[in-house]
């Protein structure tokens, strides 16, 4: 079992001033299963229905509140310790807990780098936390003065999505490293799409940066979006704060069972990844041949951001009328005229391309009609 990746001994209090005082003082809820691991012959501690469940499967008992079996398997797969892992109801739970852990409502701030995943700002607004924006450059990288700006900020968190959503690109490693070395708050690197990128995960550097949090998910490469299972990796001392404030049974027994089955089938991941990357390359090669496509942005994710020369919202609506739903990102900063296209099956990709070809022909015909 790998040793927990933690901060060097001299970094005694890397979270001083970052954790809300009320959370430092609070006593966490202690569930029945916190006091007993596994199942005894007679379990009469948690007011469960001992007669069993109504339905085809027996879920009458509360699940393991610490998801020990999943963490053990995931730790082996990722080369970390179970003490480095928090499991949440999707990555959104970890995002919300990070905001509540560090930011006092009406007082503190966090930083986002638009265009980026919208839930960071939703979590901030929900918790009455001020949002500071550090916009990405036109090529969707961190600005040259990002570390300087953040070093001067009193914000408690910065969210860095890499590969970024909706742009699809990795953020430059050197820029993120500099921020990790200079920013006084927590640096959250959201790696929801990292399985599609040819770059090492930031989980390999947890021991180097005690204020680093890496988010991953079972929703994308694992194909388990319906399970709603997200992961946060961090130093054990920081994971302990997650465990202190999370709901007692935040991951259901059904989710845990399905996740364990998926982890047992992890050798299939490279095959699925290769198929998706092949589909991405197929679309990236053919989309630029359409005359109304201005640019297909490079992608390290399982989607492509595409800029059109015509009204992208009109293209979006035409696709929807044909039963094809994509993501309209044209109102996002730096994404004017852009749609985000998820890589689908080979059949879905071909149908998307055929529909776009039809729409291009129709729009060209409309443009040549003399009033």
**How much is the pLDDT for 115?**
98
Strand partners, 308: 293
pLDDT at 2: 61
Are 89 and 250 in contact, with CB atoms under 8 Å apart? yes
Cα separation of 50 and 364, whole Å? 68
What is the rounded distance in angstroms from the CA atom of residue 169 to the CA atom of residue 136?
11
Residues 38, 44, 46, 47: what is their CA dihedral angle, to the nearest 10 degrees?
140
- DSSP assignment, residue 232? E
Which regions in the chain score pLDDT beneath 50?
A: 7-11, 370
Separation of CA 215 from chain center: 5
The model's pTM is 0.93
pLDDT computed for residue 11 by the predictor: 47
Domains, the chain: 21-30+63-264 (3.40.640.10), 269-368 (3.90.1150.10)
The predicted pLDDT at position 37 comes to 72
User: 137 is written with which tokens?
Assistant: 């450059």
Round to whole Å and give the CA distance between 25 and 5. Answer: 26
Model pLDDT, residue 369: 59
């Amino acid at each position: 079992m790998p040793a927990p990746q933690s901060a060097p001994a001299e970094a005694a209090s890397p979270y001083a001033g970052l954790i809300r005082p009320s959370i430092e003082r609070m006593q966490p809820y202690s569930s029945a299963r916190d006091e007993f691991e596994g199942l005894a012959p007679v379990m009469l501690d948690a007011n469960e229905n001992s007669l069993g469940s109504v339905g085809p499967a027996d879920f009458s008992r509360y699940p393991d509140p610490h998801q020990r079996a999943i963490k053990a398997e995931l730790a082996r797969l990722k080369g970390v310790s179970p003490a480095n892992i928090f499991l949440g109801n999707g990555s959104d739970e970890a995002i919300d807990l990070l905001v509540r852990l560090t930011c006092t409502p009406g007082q503190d701030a966090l930083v986002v780098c638009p265009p980026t995943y919208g839930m960071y700002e939703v979590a901030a607004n929900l918790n009455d936390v001020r949002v500071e924006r550090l916009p990405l450059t036109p090529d969707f990288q961190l600005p040259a003065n990002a570390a300087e700006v953040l070093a001067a900020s009193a914000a408690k968190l910065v969210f860095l999505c890499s590969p970024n959503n909706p742009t699809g690109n990795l953020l430059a490693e050197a820029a993120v490293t500099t921020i990790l070395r200079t920013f006084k708050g927590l640096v959250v690197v959201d790696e929801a799409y990292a399985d599609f990128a040819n770059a090492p995960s930031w989980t390999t550097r947890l021991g180097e940066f005690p204020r680093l949090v890496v988010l991953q998910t079972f929703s994308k490469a694992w194909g388990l979006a319906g399970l709603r299972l997200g992961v946060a990796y961090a130093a054990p001392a920081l994971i302990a704060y997650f465990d202190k404030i999370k709901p007692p049974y935040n991951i259901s027994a059904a989710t845990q069972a399905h996740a364990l089955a998926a982890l047992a089938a992890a050798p299939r991941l490279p095959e699925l990844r290769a198929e998706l990357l092949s589909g991405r390359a197929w679309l990236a090669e053919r989309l630029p041949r359409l005359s109304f496509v201005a640019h297909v942005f490079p992608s390290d994710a399982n989607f492509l951001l595409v800029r059109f020369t015509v009204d992208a919202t009109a293209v979006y609506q035409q696709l929807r009328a044909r039963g094809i739903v994509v993501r309209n990102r044209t109102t996002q900063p730096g994404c004017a005229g852009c749609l985000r296209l998820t890589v689908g099956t080979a059949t879905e990709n071909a149908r998307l391309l055929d529909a776009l070809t039809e729409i291009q022909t129709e729009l060209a015909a409309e443009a040549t009609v003399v009033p």
